[in-house]
Structure 1
Amino acid sequence: MKKTAAFLSLGCKVNSYETEAMRGMFESAGYDIVDFKERADVYVINTCTVTNIADRKSRQMLHQAKKRNPNAVIAAVGCYVQAAEEALLEDSAVDLVVGNNKKADIVTMVERCLIGNEKEELIVDMAKEQEYEALHVITTMEKTRAFIKIQDGCNRFCSYCIIPYVRGRVRSRDEEDILAEITRLADKGYKEIVLTGIHLSSYGTDRNKKGDHHEMQDSFEAMPLATLITRIGKIDGIKRIRLGSLEPRIITREFLEAIASVEQFCPHFHLSLQSGSDGVLRRMNRKYSAQEYYDRVVMIKEYFENPSFTTDVIVGFPGETQEEFEETKHFIQKVEFSHIHVFKYSKRAGTKAADMPNQIAEEIKNQRSNEIIILSEMMAKEYKQRFMGKIEKILMEEQMTLDGINYQVGHNERYLKIAVACEQDLSNQLINGKIIGTLNDEILLCEIIH
């Protein structure tokens, strides 16, 4: 009987990509893949440590897997492993501890655990690791869209963030390797590619700069990413190219001119903000001002019609005054984001912000978070209204039933979710749809234009 393996990815899209790659390795090794909620011989949990909540979730999922099958090999993999190695080595629920940049060895390590029945560990010092770990996906759980990891690590050292310590410094994937993987996925029918990384804007900045990471820390060179996008646009079958989170400073006229010339590029920009207050941005060790951020927004609008802007905002950062919070609120309204991911500041041991004075009370964080969420919902509704009566290109992705009516659902180029009432399965097809209303708060409604 074949051994079974189950997988769970926590956190970012980079983790999702790596989990898909590990799933493919186990399939190639002869394992049957089962749902994480089922009983399996092996459970692989790709962990996250970006917040305290992420740490707790990682621990919960590891223990949940062991409870499901006490005889299974439980493999803790990824960022939380790098941050909490000693605790996991002492945790009786965990059989295998594998850090970042060693995921390619996961099958071999699991097999050793199955044979030896002893706890194994494979951790590297991410501060010294300088090579990109080559992982590849064969297929993904999504049938129309594929996330492609092109870069790992971060040199930014924002004062609140633990990620540079657990992911290491910037390491870029070979361009030809990226293009080969995307070509294989296009041949399998994938139409949309999303480029992702731990710090996507740093892609290519490590080339010819080996050794001195401090010199690299503030360098930005947008053209390696722009060149990659241009080359992906020439791959047969790829209809859409999206980007993950970007730093505002990568936005230059040269960069915008290059990507605007790529027909498949989707004008959906996730520009990381974190705060609209210059004082908070300085304490966060972000490398831009609110005005510099806004200048990039204005510049993007010169090259793309009605682009979608999404972002991340942290509320309750140490020392954030009510006046600074109001500055953030005002700035958010000025930009007119289509969606905001709101995070309450989470103290991370080992970061500079954890030792900063004037830590904010949880009730204030909750209040400020709620205010930004309300603003975000209002702006999202206003942004959707701009599309009423317009004809949009929609890549259909899934089917759903609501109040007895069958709908086909997908996204337009600006990542708005759009549905059409239709019995026919339109998955992975591009359609033209005229926006005629809303299905609910999240989904616009269209009719097909032939």
Structure 2
Amino acid sequence: MKKVAFYTLGCKLNYSETSTIGRMFESRGFQKVEFNENPDIFIINTCSVTENADKKCKKIVKEASRINPDGFVAIIGCYAQLKPKEIAEIEGVDAVLGAAEKFRLVDILGDFVKEPRKIEEKAKIFNSNIEEAVDYHTSYSLNDRTRTFLKVQDGCDYPCSYCTIPLARGKSRSDTIQNVVNAAHEIAESGVKEIVLTGVNIGDFGLQNGIRVETFFDLVKALDEVKGIERFRISSIEPNLLTDEIIEFVSKSKKFVPHFHIPLQSGSSKVLALMKRRYKRELYVERVNKIKELMPDCCIGVDVIVGHPGETEEEFLETYNFLNELNISYLHVFTYSERPNTHAITIKPSVPQNIRAERSKMLHILSDKKRRFFYESQVGKQFSVLFEEDIEDGKMHGWTENYVRVMAKYDPILINETKKVCLTSVNDKMLVEVDEIEEIVYH
């Protein structure tokens, strides 16, 4: 029985796919082990959103070669689709598989025998044109017994100027509602309490062979009926695809939680146009206001990119002030990095790296302020917390339904249990301390 280990870089979508590929290996008789347990095979699932992700891949390959010089190293994921020849030249890599091949790697690579290679020889490449990545593969993670990331959609048809995802994952395509519901039932049987819906552009759910046969709202309504799952969380959804009917449904749902992550990317409508986004900032304000009107305690996260080509100092400050005044809870800040074959690299002038770093730092500080303000606004209120097996210094952690990170005294019986609590204070680590409601009621 050969031992196989996995390492995942990038988004939760990658994690769901790695977990599914891992179960495929186990069903074929392989033993899944940790990366440092001297495996015979290393599978590295890559991201290529930023240049830094590419560098991380090379570092992981080097570590794999150190752990077992005779181990077979295969690279899959977005980086593998975009730059297979570049990866094939990395010392220690044996095979590179693209988007259309990664779910067939057991069949393609067979017994995973590491063949001796001369220095000038490259790794084997199995990489089709992205147009051939048309199949959909149901995927979900089961590494954490508390929550699962369930992939419901893949690929993207949006031509955002800075993004390589359409080149790395292909056209938008989806699972069927029935398959997603079946997967949710399987996950419920494993004891998981929370499912996070993930994909490249999940609001575009329902496309099959280029034809829309279902909608994301249809999916939300169907999942709300699944028994055994206490919480569904929407990972990220475009503002132009987050409809009033979705917001209204979530506000009344007992399973879909009051937490939205909505990409903005820029608070300047001029920069949004340069980015080829499909909305103006006025629409974003409407979405936030609608959510807060129906769910005042809802947590709203925002993606924002700094340093996109053509972004002036005035336009960055426009973004900063826009976010500062917006009733949101936290930011995910990305520093723009040049990616080959994207429209953005043709836009002039480019923003110097040091200015990009300064703008990123400003927004990270703003994010911390936003998160603390949101957390403090929740103090004194009662919520349910799903506790995790995450223990540190005698304390355990968990998340409220509206995505407040809490800390409580460790009690092993609470792991993977949902418990009502009262939020009492925000500590220096940006964690919210809690009292159990039963203690408040009976003392």
Q: Normalising by the residue count of structure 2, what TM-score does the alignment of the two structures yield?
A: 0.93
Match of 1:38 in 2: 37
Q: Among residues 436, 439, 443, which one is paired with 1:448 in the alignment? A: 436
Equivalent AA in structure 2 for residue 235 of structure 1:
V
1:165 aligns with 2:156: no
How far is 1:236 from its partner?
Answer: 1.3
Match of 2:120 in 1: none
**Cα shift readout 1:389-447 (whole Å, capped 9, x = no counterpart):** 11111011124233xxx222110011111121143431110101111113433210001
- Write the distance in 2 (CA, Å) between the matches of 1:209 and 1:107: 29
Match of 1:372 in 2: 363
- Write the distance in 1 (CA, Å) between the matches of 2:190 and 2:133: 34
Equivalent AA in structure 2 for residue 325 of structure 1:
F
- Write the distance in 1 (CA, Å) between the matches of 2:436 and 2:219: 33
- Write the distance in 1 (CA, Å) between the matches of 2:266 and 2:71: 44
How far is 1:116 from its partner?
Answer: 6.7
1:284 aligns with 2:275: yes
Match of 1:124 in 2: 128
How far is 1:62 from its partner?
Answer: 1.8
**Cα shift readout 1:318-340 (whole Å, capped 9, x = no counterpart):** 12111101100111012232111
- Write the distance in 2 (CA, Å) between the matches of 1:415 and 1:268: 7
- Write the distance in 2 (CA, Å) between the matches of 1:320 and 1:176: 44
How far is 1:208 from its partner?
Answer: 6.8
Equivalent residues in 2 for 1:51-62 (5 A)?
51-62=50-61
Q: Among residues 121, 146, 149, which one is paired with 1:147 in the alignment? A: 149
* 2:103 counterpart SS class: helix
How far is 1:112 from its partner?
Answer: 4.2
Question: CA distance change for structure 1 residues 423 and 395 in 2, over 3 Å: closer, same or farther?
Answer: closer
- Write the distance in 2 (CA, Å) between the matches of 1:422 and 1:79: 39
* 2:215 counterpart SS class: helix
Equivalent residues in 2 for 1:284-363 (5 A)?
284-363=275-354
Match of 1:213 in 2: none
1:242 aligns with 2:241: no
Match of 1:432 in 2: 420
How far is 1:115 from its partner?
Answer: 7.9
How far is 1:237 from its partner?
Answer: 0.9
**Cα shift readout 1:20-57 (whole Å, capped 9, x = no counterpart):** 01111122222222211332100000011001111111
- Write the distance in 1 (CA, Å) between the matches of 2:411 and 2:282: 49
Question: CA distance change for structure 1 residues 208 and 262 in 2, over 3 Å: closer, same or farther?
Answer: farther
* 1:411 counterpart SS class: strand
- Write the distance in 1 (CA, Å) between the matches of 2:428 and 2:145: 24
- Write the distance in 2 (CA, Å) between the matches of 1:299 and 1:178: 28
Structure 1 gap ranges (5+):
211-215
* 1:70 counterpart SS class: coil
- Write the distance in 2 (CA, Å) between the matches of 1:89 and 1:408: 43
Q: Normalising by the residue count of structure 1, what TM-score does the alignment of the two structures yield?
A: 0.92
Q: How many residues align?
A: 433
Question: CA distance change for structure 1 residues 67 and 401 in 2, over 3 Å: closer, same or farther?
Answer: closer
Match of 2:379 in 1: 388
Structure 2 gap ranges (5+):
118-122, 439-443
C-alpha RMSD of the superposition: 1.9
Q: Among residues 245, 257, 277, which one is paired with 2:248 in the alignment? A: 257
Question: CA distance change for structure 1 residues 262 and 227 in 2, over 3 Å: closer, same or farther?
Answer: farther
* 2:401 counterpart SS class: coil
Identical-pair percentage: 34
